[in-house]
Amino acid sequence: MLTAAGRPARQRWTARSGGGGGGLLAALSAYAAVRAAALVALAVWSSAKGTSALVLLSRRWDSLWYVRVVDRGYGYVLVAPDGRRLSDLAFFPLLPWLERSVAWLTGFAAPDAGLLVSAVASLAAAAGIHAVVRRSVPDRPGVAVAAVVLWAALPVGIVQSIPYSESLFTALAAWSLWCALEGRWIAAGLLASAAGLTRPVGLAVAGAVLVAAGAAARRGGVSARLVAGAVLAPAGAAAYVLWVGARRGSLFGYLDVQHGWGNGFDGGAAFARFVWGLAARPPYVAGPLLAAGVAVLLWGYARGFREGGPRLPPPVQVYTGVVLALALCSSGYFGSKPRLLMPAFGVLVPVAAALERLPVRWCAAVLAACGLGAAVYGAFWLNGSGPP
């Protein structure tokens, strides 16, 4: 398809999305528009149902566990009706630390401070995703913009706007990956360490930094900065796990905490049984649809290894693969899977690359439809079962 000036539509899209700062501005503007639409949809839906959008956003589910850590520190254990002992030690400390700091600086209540932290972190995550994809696919800047919008428009994208750790973790992970790809080893290690203080899947970021450091060492030798970055990368996660172990008097104390919540790595057996159970009972379609969704995720991941994918750098592949494996191959509450998969933004790159090949108006229409759909679904979801 040619424009009036004779330029292919794909070249128009690339020119409009721009490189460097122009592409980033487009990405952040589109991201903010999707998030604003989600909040407006939630406000309208909540008003119609007589619920409070603010309560739904910041004062339910895991948000309350983080606030309890802010207010009282660690040590709370809830005994569930089925006898499980749910310890707040399952929640990594960086988000409550930031909530406490912002609350102290602003005078906000802890839940409202958490909303501010998540808002800033989500924008940092969008910028980080743009930077990583732009670095990975340098000749097609429109792919980076589309990837950011797709991440904003995930069906459970509303989680990016609530005081959960997904936005903060994704921001730290994306910028750590970018620093590793750029050879900025101290920054990469520090950011990976911070990601390790945010979620257990911080190990995926540490692994990616180590892979990047190993490749750089083979190419150009070992430097003090490279070694320091590699040592720093797993330090945050290791420090918290060891602290929990010391607090509970067992080297494997953190695993015991997760076991209390019903979480563990079983290679995907429990998830497979869950999908099969959905397929075996009415309305029968939920299981196949869920299996198809997983297949799309795996396709996106595999496509990232191929030259025409476009091919992603090995550190991004490692990071994405570990996030997918830990989310899909662990037991626990399966309603959490969609948000646990949210940091695996690498699987969106092949989809973004396909969209970028479309004429500008078609690409914009698809992304706008995804954003509006996510906004409506997010309002419905938070007014229903919501994220556990």
For the stretch 215-263, pLDDT in tens is: 999 998 899 999 999 999 999 999 999 999 999 999 889 999 998 888 8
DSSP string, 198-224: T-TTHHHHHHHHHHHHHHHHHHH---H
pLDDT at 12 over 50: no
Higher pLDDT residue, 356 or 82? 356
Encode pLDDT of 146-180 as tens digits. Answer: 999 999 999 999 999 999 999 999 999 999 999 99
Tokens linked to 278: 């959905």
Residue pair 187/225 in contact (Cβ under 8 Å)? The answer is: no
pLDDT for 87 equals 95
pLDDT for 84 equals 84
- Residue 137's Cβ-side half-sphere holds a number of Cα atoms within 13 Å equal to 30
Rounded to 5°, the CA angle 354-356-358 comes to 85
pLDDT at 15 over 90: no
- Residue 58's Cβ-side half-sphere holds a number of Cα atoms within 13 Å equal to 18
What is the percent of the chain where pLDDT is above 90?
Answer: 71
The partner residues of 79 in beta bridges, in order of sequence, read: 85
pTM, to two decimals: 0.92
Give domain limits for the chain: 10-382
Residue pair 182/132 in contact (Cβ under 8 Å)? The answer is: no
pLDDT at 83 over 70: yes
pLDDT at 107 over 70: yes
Higher pLDDT residue, 332 or 134? 134
